[in-house]
Amino acid sequence: MAPVFGPYKARVDALLKQNEQLPRKQQYTSPKIFEIIRTEGYQGCESRIRQHVAEWNRTRKQEVFLPLEFEPGQDAQCDWGEAYVVLGGERKKVQIFTMRLCYSRRTFVTAFPTQKQESFLYGHVLAFNHFGGIPYRISYDNLATAVKMAFDRPKQRGRPPRQEQRAFQSFRSHYLFESHFCTVGLQGAHEKGQVEHGVGFVRRNYLVPLPEVASFEELNQLLKERCLADDERRVSRQPTTIGQAWQEERSALRPLPTFDYDCCEITTARLTPYSQATYETNRYSVPVKRARSAVTVKAYPFHVEILDGTTVLARHPRCYGREQDLFDPFHYLPLLEQRPGAFDHAKPLKKWRRDWPESYHLLLRKLREKWPEGRGIQEFVRVLMLHQDYPSEEVAQAVEQALDLGCIHLDGILHCLHQISTSPTSAPLDLSDRPDLDAVGNQPIDLSRYEQLLKQSW
């Protein structure tokens, strides 16, 4: 007997029965049911509700799945997942893009900062290149980056009609594959169970323990290596390894197009007076000669390009923060040459300045002492401009040589730089086993012959 709970058992059963018509992630839970019946007069404890809900679930008929079989090259499944990694010394959540070929079960995994559409499309491009071809059909959940539910349109056969995103339609037209979206309200495991299981498999086997990486590039290289290692695995009840089955499936895939799809968001922007283009609240610098003109911004998953027509003016790492300034110091050097008085407070140079070798700071001090009133800074800015044409290591070496020689000016540094860049890089030939050749090229010059030639010309 349950004198406290008994009068409320039918009410709890009715709420649990409603769960069968509710979305999986918005069903009544034990705490929610306890909250509801407590407002209706229940005086018992929550643990009794949890016990009844557990008994109810055990007596329900377990969900049954239909076994599926796929032909080579015909089908793939795609999904997103979340995972944690130690990125740049901080624990961060990353978005895991996963695609799996249904026949061979070969899996591709890569990580992005977000699930934005450009990341979604670029994940496909990387997966197709990894597989060496394109499956004829790919199954998805009803991802907002691929499809939108058009509830304002008439339903067809009891389902809300779907409308693919325009960018996704364009992408599919480039790669010529069909899309299949899982039935609304049905758990994805019924129609794309392989990749649903695959996302969990990746978290448990590729990302445990938490990878410690410096960048997304390093993380994705690690994931790629683990995808390749997975080719040696043999799935239960399969006669061959994943890699062997993929070799059989590869020839059945659609061939790759001659060029990859350009996976980016494109918008226009007008440069600020500080020669910056704004995208998603962040400002990216552009060479000052383009100030106050309209430009095109192409946002890729990991970088941003700013263009004038088809000419790329600037390229920056993409920032996913808010209201940040991303500067390339070279964009502002021509302006600093004209306005040397602003040098000490120039924001675009401050981060770069902290990383300069000590020889640069010494050169700057000496140039200021030699040419005050701005000329010394102008000469130093011209030296910094050499980084646009020469490797940084060679410029730093030339600065050190010029300081040692006492030629602390642009021409002196250029002279040292030309000597460094034109000096032979190969080691001298070892002639220790041929002493008879040691003198070749080292014999003294006989100037008497030149004197004879000069006398004859007189």
pLDDT tens by residue, 25-72 = 678 888 889 989 999 888 888 888 988 888 888 777 665 556 667 899
Contact, 331 vs 347, CB < 8 A?
no
A 10 A CB-CB count for 343 gives 19
Which of 5-11's residues contact partners 24+ apart within 8 Å by CB, and which partners? 5/42, 5/44, 5/48, 5/49, 5/52, 8/37, 8/40, 8/42, 9/52, 11/37, 11/40
pLDDT band at 377 (very low <50, low <70, confident <90, very high): very high
The pTM assigned to this predicted structure is 0.74
pLDDT of residue 349 exceeding 70: yes
The residue among 290, 286, 291, 298 whose CA lies nearest residue 328 is 286
Q: List C-alpha distances in Å: 406 to 147, 254, 341, 356, 398.
A: 68, 66, 26, 20, 12
Cα 439 to Cα 219: distance, rounded to the nearest angstrom: 56
Mean pLDDT value of segment 123-136: 97
SS3 399: helix
The residue among 112, 131, 98 whose CA lies nearest residue 228 is 131
pLDDT of residue 354 exceeding 50: yes
pLDDT value of residue 196: 58
pLDDT value of residue 291: 67
pLDDT of residue 85 exceeding 90: yes
Q: Does domain 75-250 have CATH number 3.40.1130.10?
A: no
pLDDT band at 445 (very low <50, low <70, confident <90, very high): low
Cα 241 to Cα 306: distance, rounded to the nearest angstrom: 46
Mean pLDDT value of segment 86-108: 94
Q: Where in the chain is the domain with CATH 3.30.420.10?
A: 75-250
Percent of the chain with pLDDT over 70: 84
pLDDT of residue 150 exceeding 60: no
H helix intervals, 260-311: none
The residue among 191, 189, 184 whose CA lies nearest residue 161 is 184
pLDDT of residue 163 exceeding 60: yes
Q: Which amino acid is at 445?
A: I
Mean pLDDT value of segment 201-230: 92
pLDDT of residue 73 exceeding 80: yes
pLDDT value of residue 423: 62
pLDDT band at 189 (very low <50, low <70, confident <90, very high): very low
